[in-house]
Copies of this chain bind each other. A is one copy, B any other.
Amino acid sequence: MVGGGRDAFIGAVHRIAARLDDQYELVAGCFSSSPEKALASAADLGVPRAYASFADMAAREARRKDGIEAVAIVTPNHMHAPVAMQFLKRGIHVICDKPLTATLPEAKRLARAAEASGVIFALTHNYTGYPMIRHARALAQSGALGEIRVVQVEYAQDWLAEPIEQSGQKQADWRTDPARTGAGGSTGDIGTHAFNLAGFVTGLELEELAADLQRFVPGRRVDDNGHVMLRYKGGARGMLWCSQVATGNENALRLRVYGTKAGIEWAQEDPNYLWFTPLGQPRQRITRNGPGAGPEAARVSRIPSGHPEGYLEGFANIYAEAARAIIARRDGAAADPAITFPGLREGLEGVAFVDACVRSSARNGAWVKPAL
């Protein structure tokens, strides 16, 4: 693991996610850009091989017979690419937090390098790991929704409703700093999740978007609220709202998709339910592993319906899927075609989405195409 030491948030999530299904062992880490903190964090975590530099880690792990097979990158966004490059060029698989990078050119360079290297590259758009999201995607793919007309996706939080970055809150500090987080604030931090989720479920590709981004909190250096209209290829239309100043919202990612035959609704805070309404029929509440939930949800579920799984389990599904791919690669076997996890393409699309939002908003909401 690179990043994720003391004061970090997402590092601990990755560690639990990796551990949950017993497919990974954490044996080496460079847990901070500060060498002292890196070593101290390794000691905290009882990780045997502690490194003060990620480049050193990559080099030395690559040389060990028992070196790591995969690295988890949980640094601020601007460090994703530099870190990933060190590992993938040595054939070490990468599990990287989102967004892929802080800038689009960097994303393209990373994607090219990663593809050239042949490593497995998983991007933790973790919400795609939720079983009911898998079921939603299966419904869309099966034609049960009919032709998709409208997508409504939103991701609302309120933790940045006040300028807490000015009083040193570490997460707020880097996530509102364009140098580290990228040009998009809420669009990059959570808008990418929303955009990715909509695409994952519907299979729709973005044609163009029009964005109106705001910086509501005085002194904020990146957007903290974004309104985006979406035009997908083939005629579907969407709206995307992301906000970190929506007072009263904790982590309210919500997706609604309406097709000619049926509509679906899902909310991350109540993830074990998918609401499914065929046109002219009553609304159904499909539960994870319950009646009507199909095999796509079941293969990423651990326990029976009525026993709620949550965020960590969904996150762990990304790790478990990547593990299946890594094991197949190691064994020289064909990977199970059911294995599904976000990777470079989704990473590129996400960074291009942020880039397009920023460009559109700078041009007063003009329609712009993703610069892929």
Residues of A within 8 A of B (CB): 9, 12-13, 15-16, 19-22, 149-150, 152, 154, 157-158, 161-162, 210, 212, 214, 216, 225, 227, 229, 231, 237-239, 241, 243, 245-252, 256, 258-265, 268-272, 275-287, 290-292, 302-313, 364-365, 367
Task: Name the one of B229, B248, B262 contacting A229, with C-beta atoms under 8 angstroms.
Answer: B229
User: What CA separation (Å) do A310 and B239 show in the bound complex?
Assistant: 30
- A280: which B residues are within 8 A, CB to CB? 291
Task: Name the one of B22, B251, B286, B307 contacting A282, with C-beta atoms under 8 angstroms.
Answer: B286
Task: Name the one of B271, B304, B367 contacting A308, with C-beta atoms under 8 angstroms.
Answer: B271
Q: List 13 A-B contacts (CB under 8 A).
A: A161-B260, A162-B279, A212-B231, A227-B239, A229-B365, A245-B258, A248-B258, A248-B276, A249-B306, A269-B272, A281-B292, A282-B286, A312-B312
- A22: which B residues are within 8 A, CB to CB? 15, 19
- Give the Cβ gap from A236 to chain B, nearest Cβ, in Å: 9
- Pair B237/A225 contact, Cβ less than 8 Å: yes
Nearest chain-B residue to A251 (Cβ)? Answer: B306
User: What CA separation (Å) do A185 and B365 show in the bound complex?
Assistant: 24
User: What CA separation (Å) do A279 and B244 show in the bound complex?
Assistant: 12
- Give the Cβ gap from A261 to chain B, nearest Cβ, in Å: 7
- A312: which B residues are within 8 A, CB to CB? 20, 302-303, 309, 312-313
Nearest chain-B residue to A211 (Cβ)? Answer: B229
- Pair B262/A304 contact, Cβ less than 8 Å: no
User: What CA separation (Å) do A161 and B150 show in the bound complex?
Assistant: 12
- Give the Cβ gap from A7 to chain B, nearest Cβ, in Å: 14
- Give the Cβ gap from A106 to chain B, nearest Cβ, in Å: 28
- A313: which B residues are within 8 A, CB to CB? 310, 312
- Pair B250/A13 contact, Cβ less than 8 Å: no
- Pair A212/B210 contact, Cβ less than 8 Å: yes
- A252: which B residues are within 8 A, CB to CB? 306
User: What CA separation (Å) do A212 and B149 show in the bound complex?
Assistant: 13
Task: Name the one of B19, B243, B256, B262 contacting A150, with C-beta atoms under 8 angstroms.
Answer: B243
- Pair B212/A246 contact, Cβ less than 8 Å: no
Task: Name the one of B16, B263, B268, B285 contacting A158, with C-beta atoms under 8 angstroms.
Answer: B263
- Pair B237/A212 contact, Cβ less than 8 Å: yes
Q: A302-B16, A367-B365 are in contact. Are A248 and B310 (CB under 8 A)?
A: no
